Amino acid sequence: MEPVRIDQYLTATRIYKSRNGIAVKPSHGVAVGDEVRCVAPRGTVVLKVLALASKRLSPPLARALYEDHSPPPPPREERMPQRDRGAGRPTKADRRAMQRLRGDDFK
């Protein structure tokens, strides 16, 4: 099977909807057995190419095109402290404390 363009392959595997600032040119060929490294919104993605496709596929078929060797994503940072479930609505003092924490200057 002849190589597929890398931009078409990344679209077919559903890693990207379209090409996003990849270091190689979009016409760079991808063959079975190649390793593709890219940065996606979820973090660094490392894929081993198992099969080729140039058209966007359904998610189950797209997952069959590659083997994922990506490192686990970093843990998410907690934005705001969470209230205990069932604690009820925040009091006026709680709301003011949350506004100060967020940096809102409502008076």
| Domains along the chain with CATH numbers | 4-68 (3.10.290.10)
What is the rounded CA–CA span in Å between residue 10 and residue 22?
10
The tens digit of pLDDT for each residue in 3-58 reads 888 878 888 888 765 555 456 777 788 889 988 888 877 788 888 999 998 888 89
What is the rounded CA–CA span in Å between residue 21 and residue 53?
21
Instruction: State residue 38 phi and psi, 5-degree precision.
Output: -150, 165
Place of tokens 């996003």: 20
Which residues, listed in sequence order, are joined to residue 68 by a DSSP beta bridge? Answer: 47
Distance spanning both ends of the chain, measured CA to CA = 68
Out of 60-64, 87-91, 101-105, which region has the weakest mean confidence (pLDDT)? 101-105
